[in-house]
Amino acid sequence: MTQADPNHIAIVGGGIAGLALALNLQRRGIDCRVYERAPEVKELGVGITLLPHAMREMTALGVDQEIIKVGIENRESCFFNRFGQLIYKEPRGKFAGYALPEIGIHRGRLHLILFNAARERLGADRVLTNHECVRVEQDDSGATIHFKDITGTALPPVRARAVIACDGINSAIRKQYVPDEKLAFAGINTWRGVTRMKPILTGRSYMRVGSIFTGKIVIYPIIDDVDGSGNQLVNWMAEIKQENTGKNDWNQKGDLKDFYSIYESWRFDWLDVAAMIRNADQILEYPMVDKDPIDRWTFDRVTLAGDAAHPMYPRGSNGAAQAAVDARTLADLLAKHADAREALAAYEAARRDVANKVVRTNCEHPPDFINIKVEELVGDKPFTNLDDYITQDELRALSEGYKKIAGFAVADVVAAAR
């Protein structure tokens, strides 16, 4: 490895946050390196949704057309009860008046687009894999990062003027500075899968069905015509909140017997949910966890970004957007301030309270609060006339309230783009 300039910005973690930050810094002429723990970056995982404010950031980085090419543009978001009855729907992305689309995409494809762009623009010697951070040390003139490789062998330490922890929810750097915290688990376990199948509804529909109390599933397409026969690759995530249950394993292969009984009877005239689950290419299981917001992200020459700073429930499709906004904000401030410590402090001041509010909202009043509210009002049964319980205007207000807090109401996205 070429010895890095000790005045560079070290980015620990080559996920969405780390790569977006590297691309933002490169655009501003700021020397940086990415240090990723995985020995190889592959097309792994399931689906992710990029909301218009996330696509605003991807457009600024010049990778939007690649994302649009391999993803699917959502037309609408639909909410159903667990009996398959439509509760509420609304247009999304450009169909809702945004200048930018909302895109469903395979997470692995998005990751590779950002990874390849970073290697091309920064140089392959500045995007390094097989570097797992062990610890960071600081002094008056800089920071020293200690790494090991996949075998546990120590690698040469790296000197930098600032260190940005983009190493995810299990961040080693966050643990170093916030050693006693634990993952917050509220009893919601999830299973995610992808299934090859004919398009559902418009083929451009994002669907939330049921509630976490009686069984919920989120469904949306991520690859069009995946097999040349008109089938899509459809991403789904099943969620259930159960009392006195332990956390399931993290990102392990899922077992149908652990959750299928909840959805076995879910056969609607517009979708056979049970068949979709049975026919999945793969099923992964993991607990729905986050961490309580912390009141400090920055520790002199070290700061946290993305999931390392504000891990949040995977509700509302906002994790990637918040990470990308972190990256752009941090790059702007590093370009503005000659002293990296001043830049990191200003970044925390700009982003911490905003992102922490999204974390709390995802726990307390997420988008699927619509489903929960209807289930509370109607009871766990089909309805004849939903307006007898709650109006469409009231449901729309719930949806718009989440968008405003999360920073992607139409007016907010337009204003930020300007």
Tell me, what CATH number does 310's domain have?
Answer: 3.50.50.60
Within-domain flag for 413: no
Within-domain flag for 107: yes
How many whole angstroms separate alpha carbon 362 and alpha carbon 368?
Answer: 9
Within-domain flag for 48: yes
Chain centre to alpha carbon of residue 38: 19
Place 1 in a pLDDT band, splitting at 50, 70 and 90. Answer: very low
Q: Which of 156, 101, 98, 95 is nearest to 131 (CA)?
A: 156
Q: Report whether pLDDT(247) > 60.
A: no
Within-domain flag for 316: yes
Number of domains observed in the structure of the chain: 1
Average pLDDT of the segment spanning 310-339: 86
pLDDT tens digits, residue range 64-115?
999 999 999 999 999 999 999 999 999 999 999 999 999 999 999 999 999 9
pLDDT of res. 264: 96
Give the CA distances from residue 104 to residues 14, 46, 371, in Å, rounded to whole numbers and listed in that order. Answer: 21, 11, 21
How many whole angstroms separate alpha carbon 263 and alpha carbon 325?
Answer: 37
pLDDT of res. 331: 98
How many whole angstroms separate alpha carbon 273 and alpha carbon 405?
Answer: 32
Within-domain flag for 411: no
Within-domain flag for 133: yes
pLDDT of res. 2: 43
pLDDT of res. 70: 95
pLDDT tens digits, residue range 277-301?
999 998 988 766 556 778 899 999 9
pLDDT tens digits, residue range 348-380?
999 999 888 877 776 666 667 889 999 999 999
pLDDT of res. 204: 97
Within-domain flag for 138: yes
Place 302 in a pLDDT band, splitting at 50, 70 and 90. Answer: very high
The owner of tokens 């980015």 is 11
Q: What is the pTM of this model?
A: 0.89
Q: Could you list the residue range(s) of the whole structural domain that residue 354 is in?
A: 9-72+103-182+294-364
Within-domain flag for 309: yes
Residues 6+ apart with CB under 8 A from 265: 274
Q: Report whether pLDDT(251) > 70.
A: no
pLDDT of res. 91: 96
pLDDT of res. 249: 47
Average pLDDT of the segment spanning 146-154: 95
